């Protein structure tokens, strides 16, 4: 199979490193360029990036000369964007205009009408929104986004429930790891022996991005799912892994066994296509009363699976449950890479 040239934008940060981790030795992609801020441009990657992840910086990138985030300097079929929003807002369209597919983890364009917000297991058909996007904007490339790191974890297991039984409304309380804020985002003085019940903009993202993903593509635009989500987000002293507890009301009655079966048996296009990083199964349903746990379950499916547990009756709504996934893999870099795998496997570029 032809390998596509890919680049990482924002390559020195934590999500950028997760991109590198996932793209080195990837069967579909050749990692050909690393782009970062002016401060790093021109230096060897090893000289400007402090490697944050357990294990060593991959040999393949140590000597790569980092370039500026500029389409002139980066030739790639696909660029993976771990850019901060203020940079992403201009840079991503520039790359798309220059002909690259931008698989973005930034939030800038997630809710933009003609930009797909994609979880390949959930709404693969939204990918065709890039045809609308290209036509409207006259781009050769396109922008494809993945959702924020906390909504992924509940949207994935709820997808089969939504399909089978409908959802009327839901409440979600998240317990999010510090890596979600970037390497330097949460000072240790802020979080040791502490919980912070606030993450800027996160609740709004959970309450809106999820509905776009569960929405219907009518060939022109996405019609968001017709229910309401109420979210409350907490930062807790864990390194990686967002754990979330949900209270859900379905439209049609379903037993707990039916809910669990729907989640457990859920499989989707990425699994059928055997995409390289698609977890099998995408949702793991555990029966122990005290699982999922952040540290024990975040690496399930190489960080790409969501683990669900404690599915039980809710005294007010229909059921409640807890879910967990790795926020910088399934919730960020891994999500974008799976989006790109989906793209090249189903559409070429």
Query: Catalytic positions, please?
Result: 149, 242
Q: Is 333 in the site for a copy of itself (CB under 8 A)?
A: no
**φ/ψ of residue 213, rounded to 5:** -65, -35
Q: Is 302 in the site for a copy of itself (CB under 8 A)?
A: no
Q: Is 299 in the site for a copy of itself (CB under 8 A)?
A: yes
Residues 49/12, Cβ–Cβ less than 8 Å: yes
| Residue 256 vs 317, nearer CB to a copy of itself | 317
The binder of a copy of itself chosen from 173, 256, 261, 273 (CB under 8 A): 173
| Residue 148 vs 294, nearer CB to a copy of itself | 294
Q: Is 24 in the site for a copy of itself (CB under 8 A)?
A: no
Closest separation between CB of residue 177 and a copy of itself, Å?
Answer: 9
Spell out the residues 6+ positions from residue 6 whose beta carbon is closer than 8 angstroms to its own.
23, 29, 30, 31, 32, 76, 77, 78, 79, 80, 340
Q: Quick one: tokens of 70?
A: 């500029």
Residues 266/116, Cβ–Cβ less than 8 Å: no
Residues 176/245, Cβ–Cβ less than 8 Å: no
Q: Is 230 in the site for a copy of itself (CB under 8 A)?
A: yes
Q: Is 179 in the site for a copy of itself (CB under 8 A)?
A: yes
| CA separation, residue 108 to residues 93, 224, 302 (Å) | 11, 18, 27
Q: Which stretch binds a copy of itself (CB under 8 A): 4-12, 90-98, 250-258, 311-319?
A: 311-319
Q: Which stretch binds a copy of itself (CB under 8 A): 52-60, 130-138, 214-222, 254-262?
A: 52-60
Q: Which residues of 211-229 are buried (b: 16+ CB within 10 A; e: fewer)?
A: bbbbbebeeeebebbebeb
Residues 143/118, Cβ–Cβ less than 8 Å: no
Q: Is 290 in the site for a copy of itself (CB under 8 A)?
A: yes
Closest separation between CB of residue 198 and a copy of itself, Å?
Answer: 4
Distance, CA of 213 to CA of 126 (rounded, Å): 8
The binder of a copy of itself chosen from 100, 107, 322, 339 (CB under 8 A): 322
The binder of a copy of itself chosen from 62, 264, 310, 345 (CB under 8 A): 310
Q: Using CB under 8 A, which residues numbered 125 to 154 contact a copy of itself? A: none
In terms of residues, how long is the chain?
349
Contacts within 8 Å (CB) and 24+ apart, 46-53:
48/12, 49/11, 49/12, 49/17, 50/12, 51/17, 52/14, 52/17, 52/183, 53/14, 53/17, 53/18, 53/21
Binding string, residues 254-273; x marks residues near a copy of itself by CB under 8 A: --------------------
The binder of a copy of itself chosen from 175, 263, 304, 342 (CB under 8 A): 175
Q: Which stretch binds a copy of itself (CB under 8 A): 142-150, 211-219, 258-266, 312-320?
A: 312-320
- Contacting residues toward a copy of itself, per CB under 8 A: 14, 52, 54-55, 169, 171, 173, 175, 178-179, 183-198, 207, 228-230, 232, 234, 236-239, 241, 243, 245, 247, 289-296, 299, 309-310, 314-317, 320, 322
């Amino acid at each position: 199979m032809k390998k596509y040239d890919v680049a990482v934008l924002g390559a020195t940060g934590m999500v950028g490193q997760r991109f590198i981790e996932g793209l080195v030795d990837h069967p579909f992609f050749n990692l050909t360029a690393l782009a970062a801020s002016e401060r790093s441009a021109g230096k060897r990657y090893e000289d400007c990036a402090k490697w944050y992840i357990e294990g060593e910086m991959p040999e393949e990138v140590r000597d790569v000369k980092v370039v500026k985030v500029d389409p002139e300097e980066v030739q790639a079929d696909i660029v993976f964007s771990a850019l901060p929003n203020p940079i992403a807002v201009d840079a991503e369209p520039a790359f798309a205009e220059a002909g690259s597919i931008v698989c973005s983890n930034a939030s800038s364009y997630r809710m933009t009408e003609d930009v797909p917000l994609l979880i390949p297991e959930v709404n693969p058909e939204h990918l065709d929104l890039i045809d609308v996007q290209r036509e409207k904007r006259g781009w050769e490339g396109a922008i494809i986004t993945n959702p924020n790191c906390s909504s992924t974890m509940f949207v994935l297991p709820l997808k089969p429930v939504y399909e089978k039984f409908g959802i009327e409304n839901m409440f979600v309380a998240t317990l999010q790891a510090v890596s979600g804020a970037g390497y330097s985002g949460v000072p240790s003085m802020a979080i040791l022996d502490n919980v912070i019940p606030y993450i800027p903009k996160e609740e709004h993202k959970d309450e809106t991005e999820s509905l776009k993903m569960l929405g219907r593509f009518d060939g022109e635009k996405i019609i968001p799912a017709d229910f309401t989500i109420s979210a409350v987000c907490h930062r807790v002293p864990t390194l990686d892994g967002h754990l979330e507890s949900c209270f859900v009301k379905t439209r049609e009655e379903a037993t707990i066994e039916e809910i669990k079966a729907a989640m457990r048996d859920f499989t989707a296009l990425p699994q059928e296509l055997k995409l390289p990083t698609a977890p099998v199964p995408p949702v793991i349903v555990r029966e122990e009363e005290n699982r999922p746990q952040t540290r024990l379950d975040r690496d399930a499916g190489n960080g790409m699976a969501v683990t669900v547990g404690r599915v039980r009756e809710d005294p007010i709504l229909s059921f409640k449950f807890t879910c967990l996934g790795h926020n910088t893999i399934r919730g960020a870099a891994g999500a974008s890479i799976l989006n790109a795998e989906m793209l090249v496997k189903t559409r070429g570029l």
